[in-house]
Amino acid sequence: MTTKLTKIARVFTQLEQWRDTYFPERQIFLRSQGRVRFLTIHSYTQITAASSLAIALTWGAVTSYAYMSRDRVIEDKNKTISTMSTQYQTLSSDLSALEIDVERRAQLLEQRQQFLEEILETDPAQTVNQPANKPVETETDGSTPEQTSSLFETLFSSAPANAAILTNIDRRVTLVDRLRTMEQRQRSLASMMLKDVKQQLSVVDKTLAPSKLNTDDLIRKLSAPATAAGGPYVPDHAFEGIFAAEDGSPFLELKESSDRLKMVTNALDSYPLGEPAEKYYVSSKFGRRRDPIKKTWAKHSGLDLAGWPGTAINATAAGTVVYSGWYGPYGNMVEIDHGNGFRTRYGHMKKLRVKKNEQIDLGHRIGDMGRTGRATDTHVHYEVWFDDKVRDPMPFIKAAANVLKIQGRHEKTYE
C-alpha cells in the first residue's frame, strides 16, 4: 500500500514539475495613467487554453483532411460517371447504327425473297421439270420475312438503358448472324434457279437449232413496244450487296436470264408449231427438186402435203390474216402474220374460210385442201417465213411437241 502511494506521489510530483516547466504561473503587467497593475495567469488556466487550442487545431486539421478527401472522392465519382456516360453514348450510337444496318439488310432480304417467290410462281423454267408433288424449297432457317420483321419490331420497340443495352446489342448481333445465314441460303437457291433457267434456254436453243434459229434471233425480232405508255413508277430490283459487294450478282444474273427466258417464251407464241392438216403425206420437200411440170431442177420454197380433197387446212399458230384470195401460181392462198417476224402461207386450197384482217388462233380452220393454181394434184403448199426469209417447214413441225412443252402447253386444240 505504501509502495502504491509512493508511486502516486511520484507521478503527481512529475506532473507538477512538467507544469512548472512548461506552464509556470505568469503575470502580465498593465500600466495606465501612471499606475501599474498586473494580471496573474495561473498554470491551470494556461493548460486549459493550450488544450483548447490544441483541440481546435486538431479538429481543424481533421475536418480539412476530411473535406479534401471528400472532394477527391466526389471528383473520382464524377470521372467515373463521365466515363460511363461516354461509354453509354458510344454503345447507344453503336446500337442505333446496328439497328439501321439490320433493318436495311432485312429489307433487302425481303426484296430478294419476294423476287425469288415471283420467279417460282411465274417462270416456266421452274415449273416444266418440277414434280407436281415436290415444291421447290424456299425456306431460310425456318423464318419467313414476316417473322423476321416481327422480330425486328420486338427488338426495336423500346430504347435500351444502362446494362440492358449490352444484352440488346448481343441480341442484334445474333440476329445479324441469322440474316447472314438467310442471305447465304437465298444465294444458294438463286444459283440453283439460275442453273435451271440456263438449262431451259439451252433446251430452247437445241429445239430451234434444226430450223436454223436461236434465242437471239427470237429476241431481236420481238415486236416493238407501243409508243403510248404510262403508269406509276416502280423501281426495278437493284440487288445491292447485303454482306458483300458481289453477293447480289446471282440475283441480277437470275433476273436477266429469267427475263430472257420470258421474252423467248413470249416470242415462241408466234412460232408455227402446228400441222397444216391432220391427215397428209409429204409429196415434195423443201429445197432443190425437179419441177413437177417443167421437169427441170428448181428451188421449192415450201413443203407439199398431199391428202384428200376438202381436207381441213389449219393455222399453225395464232395471228392475223394478211392475205386471203387468189395469188397466181399459189392458187387460193392464205397468208398469216403471227408476229415477232413469223409468217406462214397455205396455197392451192379448194376453198377459203377466212378473210383478210381476221384474227385467228392456233388450229383455226382457214380452208380446204385442193389443187388450185400451179399444181398437179390435191395438196397444200405450206411455207414458213421468219425475218422476211423463207425457212424449211419440216423442222418447225418436228419441234412442235418440244415448243408446246416449253410454253407449258402439252396439247394442241383445234376449233
Cell, residue 163: 446494362
**Phi/psi of residue 332, each to 5°?**
-70, 115
Pairing of strands 287-290, 281-284: unpaired
Q: Which residues contact 165 (CB under 8 A, 6 or more apart)?
A: 88, 91, 92, 95
pLDDT tens across 106-121, in order?
878 888 888 888 887 7
Cα dihedral value 224, 230, 231, 232, nearest 10: 100
Residue 109: per-residue pLDDT:
82
Helix (H) or strand (E) holding 104: helix 43-122
Residue 172: per-residue pLDDT:
65
Q: Looking at the predicted structure, is the pLDDT value of residue 385 above 80?
A: yes
Q: Looking at the predicted structure, is the pLDDT value of residue 390 above 90?
A: yes
The predicted model scores a pTM of 0.61
- Give the C-alpha separation, 212 to 12, whole Å: 138
**Half-sphere exposure of 234 toward its Cβ, with a 13 Å CA cutoff?**
4
Q: How confident is the model at residue 71 (pLDDT cuts 50, 70, 90)?
A: confident
Do 367 and 346 touch, CB atoms closer than 8 A? Answer: yes
- Decide: helix, strand or coil at residue 326: strand
pLDDT tens across 24-34, in order?
877 777 777 77
Residue 271: per-residue pLDDT:
92
- Give the C-alpha separation, 304 to 290, whole Å: 13
pLDDT tens across 244-276, in order?
777 788 888 888 898 898 899 888 889 998 889
Do 315 and 360 touch, CB atoms closer than 8 A? Answer: yes
**Phi/psi of residue 139, each to 5°?**
-75, 150
How many C-beta atoms lie closer than 10 Å to residue 229's C-beta? 6
For residue 332, give the nearest of 389, 378, 281, 283 by alpha carbon. 378
Top pLDDT among 229 and 182 is at 182
* Mean pLDDT, the chain, whole residue set: 79
For residue 307, give the nearest of 283, 338, 284 by alpha carbon. 283
**Half-sphere exposure of 287 toward its Cβ, with a 13 Å CA cutoff?**
4
Q: How confident is the model at residue 153 (pLDDT cuts 50, 70, 90)?
A: very low
What CATH number is given for 281-407 in this structure?
2.70.70.10
Cell, residue 365: 380452220
**Phi/psi of residue 134, each to 5°?**
-135, 90
